[in-house]
């Protein structure tokens, strides 16, 4: 018997009471029963996004909501600035180019965060740009981006701020209305503790104006059509009914915990993880480590192949699933996730399995150094 434990940046573990919802009979979506349930979900989402506006529910993963945003708000030939700090920043650029837009990329060294002066000077060099597209936390490198600073600069230059908060909403404080974020996106399999298949996006009044004048081709992702339907607790197409049913439960759990407690929990788990990294003699990959996940460098004595082995041993021998690096970072970094249905005992499990796997590969780490650091950081913070 091997117990599988998921410590990945989506999908994340799902609470038992949410799993139980998926065993219930399905209902039809064109019914008052569905509308009543969808209304509760919409209300929970407004709370989570810290907005008074409508939060749309789309039946697709996070990338679908990114595409819906680009196709929905812009027109071919529009210019946008993309903060490309990794795989997901790169995705904003690829989607925008697909829709015939001019993309000016701020290419960050992997693991680095954005310097606000660099954004400011790029905007001044690009007087025609309409928006800045960025991540709140770049999942591929574990780097945190200065969201409030980016949004403030956008406001000052009259640009739309489009924030991929797919691994940030429900983890970091991103008060959409208070800060004036124009677009905020998340996905079901991240902090919302659901399986993949739904994404959520909220738009400011300014962003909705942009939607009304967009000339890009679109059919499935028609935000105006969705808004019209979702204002009446309906959806344009068949929604992920079961996921919405589970979402009422999972968002209810988050709401019971409370926003501040939610942010504090994630901050604390990040601190515990970082303490373990230092105690094990490992190095952080990102110079701006995010509370979402901690990326660490594979010890320098390891080859790329040995680097990949760490993750493989953790999975195959110990049942603990973490992620490594993507593309050029394969075999070079490990990403320890600590968000969603996650507590200090999950962090301990991940660190313990990492100690075991490193020992299996001949890296000398004092046994228990990492786990002991987690406990100490937990007690002291
Ligand atoms: C997971 C993730 C995505 C992509 O979401 P999918 O659900 O895989 O389409 C986009 N951005 C960030 C920051 C993510 O972490």
**Tell me, what CATH number does 330's domain have?**
3.90.1150.10
Please write the tens of the pLDDT for every residue from 230-280.
999 999 999 999 999 999 999 999 999 999 999 999 999 999 999 999 999
Q: Is residue 277 part of a domain?
A: yes
The verdict on the CB of residue 285 being under 6 Å from ligand 1 is: no
Please write the tens of the pLDDT for every residue from 179-217.
999 999 999 999 999 999 999 999 999 999 999 999 999
- How many angstroms separate the CA atoms of 239 and 38, rounded? 10
Domain endpoint, select from 222, 242, 257 = 257
Domain endpoint, select from 223, 238, 257 = 257
Q: Give all strands (DSSP E) within the chain, no chain letters.
A: 5-6, 55-58, 79-84, 102-107, 131-135, 137-138, 143-144, 160-164, 183-187, 199-203, 293-297, 320-321, 323-324, 333-337
Q: Are residues 279 and 354 in the same domain?
A: yes
**Residue 219, pLDDT above cutoff 90:** yes
Q: Residue 57: how many CA atoms within 13 Å on its side-chain side?
A: 32
Q: For the chain, give the percent of residues with pLDDT over 70.
A: 100
Q: Is residue 10 part of a domain?
A: no
The verdict on the CB of residue 85 being under 6 Å from ligand 1 is: no
The pLDDT of residue 2 is: 85
Q: Is residue 313 part of a domain?
A: yes
**Residue 381, pLDDT above cutoff 90:** no
What are phi and psi for residue 131, nearest 5 degrees?
-155, 160
Residue with CA nearest ligand 1 atom 14: 166
- Separation of CA 252 and ligand 1 centre (Å): 23
Domain endpoint, select from 229, 257, 285 = 257
Give, for ligand 1, the residue of 166, 184, 192, 240 to mutate: max count of ligand atoms closer than 8 Å to Cβ.
Answer: 166
- Separation of CA 166 and ligand 1 centre (Å): 6
Q: Are residues 201 and 286 in the same domain?
A: no
**Residue 1, pLDDT above cutoff 90:** no
Question: Domain of 187?
Answer: 16-257
**Residue 13, pLDDT above cutoff 90:** yes
Q: Is residue 1 part of a domain?
A: no
Q: Are residues 123 and 45 in the same domain?
A: yes
Q: Is residue 336 part of a domain?
A: yes
Confidence band (pLDDT; 50, 70, 90) for 331?
A: very high
Q: Average pLDDT of the chain?
A: 97
Confidence band (pLDDT; 50, 70, 90) for 329?
A: very high
The pLDDT of residue 201 is: 98
Q: Are residues 46 and 22 in the same domain?
A: yes
What predicted TM-score, i.e. pTM, was given to this entire model?
Answer: 0.98
**Residue 147, pLDDT above cutoff 90:** yes
Q: Are residues 252 and 150 in the same domain?
A: yes
- Separation of CA 193 and ligand 1 centre (Å): 14
Domain count, the chain: 2
Q: Are residues 51 and 129 in the same domain?
A: yes
CATH of residue 230's domain is 3.40.640.10
Q: Are residues 58 and 48 in the same domain?
A: yes
Q: Determine the atom of ligand 1 nearest the C-alpha atom of 137.
A: 13
Q: Give all strands (DSSP E) within 237-373, no chain letters.
A: 293-297, 320-321, 323-324, 333-337
The pLDDT of residue 247 is: 98
Q: Are residues 189 and 68 in the same domain?
A: yes
Q: How large is the average pLDDT for residues 69-76?
A: 98
């Amino acid at each position: 018997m091997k117990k599988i434990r998921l410590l990945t940046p989506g999908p994340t573990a799902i609470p038992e009471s949410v799993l139980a919802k998926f065993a219930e009979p399905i209902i039809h979506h064109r019914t008052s029963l569905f509308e009543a349930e969808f209304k509760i979900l919409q209300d929970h989402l407004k709370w989570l996004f810290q907005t008074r506006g409508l939060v749309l529910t789309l039946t697709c993963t996070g990338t679908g909501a990114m595409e819906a945003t680009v196709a929905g708000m812009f027109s071919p030939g529009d210019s946008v600035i993309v903060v490309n700090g990794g795989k997901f920043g790169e995705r904003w650029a690829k989607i925008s180019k697909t829709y015939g837009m001019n993309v000016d990329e701020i290419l960050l060294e992997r693991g680095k965060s954005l310097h606000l002066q660099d954004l400011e000077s790029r905007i001044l060099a690009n007087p025609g740009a309409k928006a800045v597209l960025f991540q709140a936390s770049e999942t591929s490198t574990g780097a945190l981006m200065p969201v409030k600073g980016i949004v403030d600069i956008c406001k000052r230059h009259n640009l739309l701020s489009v924030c991929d908060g797919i691994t940030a909403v429900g983890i970091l404080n991103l008060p959409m209305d208070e800060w004036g974020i124009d677009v905020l996106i998340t996905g079901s399999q991240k902090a919302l503790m659901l399986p993949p298949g739904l994404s959520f996006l909220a738009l400011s009044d300014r962003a909705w104006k942009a939607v009304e004048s967009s000339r890009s081709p679109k059919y499935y992702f028609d935000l105006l059509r969705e808004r019209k339907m979702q204002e009446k607790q309906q959806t344009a197409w068949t929604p992920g009914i079961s996921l919405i049913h589970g979402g009422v439960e999972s968002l209810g759990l988050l709401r019971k915990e409370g926003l501040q407690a939610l942010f504090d929990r994630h901050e604390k788990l990040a601190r515990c993880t970082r303490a373990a990294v230092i105690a094990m003699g490992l190095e952080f990959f990102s110079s701006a480590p995010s509370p979402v996940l901690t990326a660490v460098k594979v010890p320098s004595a390891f080859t790329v192949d040995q680097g990949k082995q760490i993750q493989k041993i953790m999975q195959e021998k110990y049942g603990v699933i973490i992620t490594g690096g993507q593309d050029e970072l394969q075999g070079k970094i490990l990403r320890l996730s600590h968000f969603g249905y996650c507590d200090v005992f999950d962090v301990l499990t991940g660190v313990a399995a990492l100690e075991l796997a490193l020992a299996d590969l001949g890296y000398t780490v004092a046994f228990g150094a990492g786990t002991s650091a987690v406990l100490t950081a937990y007690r002291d913070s």
